[in-house]
Amino acid sequence: MSNRKPFDRNDPFDAIAQMTKTVIATAFGEAMARAPTISRDPEIQYEALVIGLMVGAYGCALAMTAPDGELRAALLAHLPDAFDQARDIVGLPPLGALS
């Protein structure tokens, strides 16, 4: 279980984050469904889907910020919590902080 406070639909941060996760998950589901029409190789599909997801997410974040180099540090700092939240959603225990 994550140490993050419980979801509050009335909290604007939580509402925006939930809406964004839902939109991303829907789009990613569509990409997963289309990937086998491009390549039947599961290794190619996996790597291409993950890289596409990461570059797309980082590109979206970059589009909202000034390109001053701080975005990378901020994204890296949030990775452990993002992984733990995703794991919590599917009922897996957190991995915790990176060492």
Tell me the pLDDT band of 2, cut-offs 50, 70 and 90: very low
* Range of the structural domain that residue 39 is part of: 12-64
* Spatial distance between the Cα atoms of 24 and 8, rounded to a whole number of angstroms: 20
Residues 16 and 58 both lie in one domain? yes
**% residues pLDDT > 70 (the chain):** 89
The pLDDT tens digits of the residues spanning 35-81 come to 999 999 999 999 999 999 999 998 888 888 876 668 888 888 888 98
pLDDT value of position 95: 87
Q: Do 17 and 60 reside in the same domain of the chain?
A: yes
Residue 6 placed within a domain? no
Please give the Cα distance from 94 to 84 (Å, whole number): 5
Listed in sequence order, the residues at least 6 apart from 53 whose beta carbon sits closer than 8 Å to its beta carbon are: 28, 31
Looking at residue 69, what is its pLDDT? 67
CB neighbour list of residue 96: distance below 8 Å, 6 or more residues apart: 80, 84
Kindly state whether residues 56 and 75 are assigned to the same domain: no
pLDDT at residue 82 greater than cutoff 70: yes
